[in-house]
Amino acid sequence: MWTKDACPGLPAWEALNDCAALFATAETGDKGRYLDGPVDWLKHGQERVAALDMNFVVVNAGSAAALWAEIGAAEAEKKPVVVFNWTPNFAEAVWPGEFVEFPAWEEGCDKDPAVGVNKDALYDCGNPAKGYLKKAAWDGMKDKWPAAYATLTKISFTNPQIAEMAKFVDIDEMEPEDAATAWLDANKDTWMAWTK
């Protein structure tokens, strides 16, 4: 949120150009730095920055850990930072913030220049925002273990709940079993409703 405080107009992506100097580094000169994920993640940050004519240079992090280290360092100095992130993950439980609101994903903006705000470029949109984690069960589960199946159909985690669980393991360095126990202890009302 310190980044939003420093750059009025965020989370709208257009605000970034007005504040590009706040994100500049020695590596990027007078342009802002957009720290994208590792190159092999293929998230098309470079293409997005070019398609939207942003006053930024895309720098690829070497790893997810490098992204987190960058956010931690930026927090310590309250230095504005733009990094690639996704949800759910532990980062949102550690560093409250918001996603930059790029132009909404439209089917085809990654394949057809005619789709999107820049009719001459691909990736002139944000990433799809309506993804979700799916649960799956063996097709015989309903008959063999009906109570377990009924519980599974009721389970529904929110992003903050998943972020909190991931934080227990990734930041607090708890063993997964201990993290599960801690979450269950703190969220009894939530999971008890799933078992009724």
Q: What is the pLDDT of residues 11-46, one digit of tens each?
A: 999 999 999 999 999 999 999 999 999 999 988 999
Assess whether pLDDT exceeds 80 at residue 130: no
- Residue 77 resides in a domain: yes
pLDDT of residue 144 exceeding 90, the answer is yes
Number of helices and strands in the chain (H, E): 10, 3
Domain boundary among 79, 94, 109: 94
Residues 11 and 90 placed together within one structural domain of the fold: yes
52 occurs within a structural domain: yes
Q: What's the rounded Cα separation, in Å, for the pair 33 and 78? A: 16
pLDDT confidence bin for 55, thresholds 50/70/90: very high
Owning domain of residue 36: 2-94
Q: What was the pLDDT predicted at 128?
A: 85
Contact by Cβ (8 Å): 106, 120? no
| Cis peptide bond upstream of 146, omega within 30 | no
pLDDT in the model for residue 170:
87
For residues 182-195, give the mean pLDDT: 92
Question: Do 22 and 83 sit in the same domain of this protein?
Answer: yes
Cα 36 to Cα 63, 79, 86, 175, 196: the distances in Å are 10, 17, 11, 29, 44
Residue 74 lies in a domain: yes
Please tell me whether residues 29 and 85 are part of one structural domain. yes
What is the C-alpha separation between 21 and 29, in angstroms, rounded?
9
For residue 184, pLDDT over 90 is answered with yes
Is residue 45, in this structure, part of any structural domain at all? yes
The answer to the question of residue 13 being in a domain is yes
Same domain, 90 and 158: no
Q: Tell me the per-residue pLDDT of 63-94, one tens digit each, with 9 for 90 and over.
A: 988 999 999 999 999 999 999 988 888 998 99
Q: Are residues 81 and 162 in the same domain?
A: no
**Strand, helix or coil at 35?**
strand
**Is the pLDDT score of 7 beyond 90?**
yes
Work out the percent of the chain whose per-residue pLDDT is above 90.
Answer: 76
Is the pTM above the cut of 0.85?
Answer: no
Q: Is 179 a domain residue?
A: yes
Is residue 158 situated within a structural domain? yes
Helix axes 159-170, 176-186, angle to 10 degrees: 140
Q: What is the mean pLDDT of the chain?
A: 92
Last residue of some domain: 75, 94, 113? 94
Evaluate whether residue 109 is within a structural domain: no
Q: For the chain, how many structural domains are there in total?
A: 2
Q: What is the pLDDT of residue 60?
A: 95
- If asked whether residues 82 and 159 sit together in one domain, one would say no
